Amino acid sequence: MRNPPEEHSLAVWIWPRALPLREIFGAAWDDPDIRTRFLTLAGQWHTRHPSPRPDPGPGGGPRPGQWMWHPPAHSIYDSHTYEEAGDDWLEVAVRMENADYFPGHCRIEASLTVACRCDSPHDRHTIVETRWRSGGPVAALDALTTVLRATDQWLADSRRPDWWRRHSGLR
């Protein structure tokens, strides 16, 4: 994400194949078919939204295709930022996390945000988002499929921050 929160000091960028899905979401995620489907969706996410920034190199941030794993929160996420000259940027992000209050459930969400130019420094405006809660890996991956389609639809309109600013009535 563009500006990860302070508590993300324990988070690491990791390749989807290395993500400990069982540790994050439970034993049912160990199934080879589930892992393969997740890797296919993660690959599709990267293909649909290739990183517009160059490869940052060692220690310079994530490499294109890596996801962030935040062990304490039992969550994984990735985002793509589309920047324009000046301080304008657009970010599309997808996140999956364990829903502790419902064992075996996952929360899956995506958001589209644009840079904030307000007087108060809250960093960004969420333009559109979608959230799902699913029980079990099959339902979670079905929800992830739906979420990825939503990001496609959002960005089909435009990948330009200024377009989204105008569309949302932001100055």
- In this structure, the chain runs to a length of 171
**Mean pLDDT for the stretch of residues 72-89:** 85
12-65 pLDDT, tens digit per residue, is 889 999 999 998 888 899 999 999 999 999 999 988 876 655 555 555 667 778
**β-sheet with 75-83: strand ranges across:** 12-14, 67-70, 75-83, 89-98, 105-115, 124-135
Residue 9 has pLDDT above 80, yes or no: no
d(CA 94, CA 108): 8
101-156 pLDDT, tens digit per residue, is 777 789 999 999 998 776 666 678 899 999 999 989 999 999 999 999 999 999 99
pLDDT at 55: 57
Listed in sequence order, the residues at least 6 apart from 45 whose beta carbon sits closer than 8 Å to its beta carbon are 78, 94, 148, 151
d(CA 171, CA 23): 44
Global pTM reads 0.84
The C-alpha R_g of the chain, in whole angstroms, comes to 16
Instruction: Name the least confident of 49-53, 94-98, 165-169.
Output: 49-53
pLDDT at 3: 47
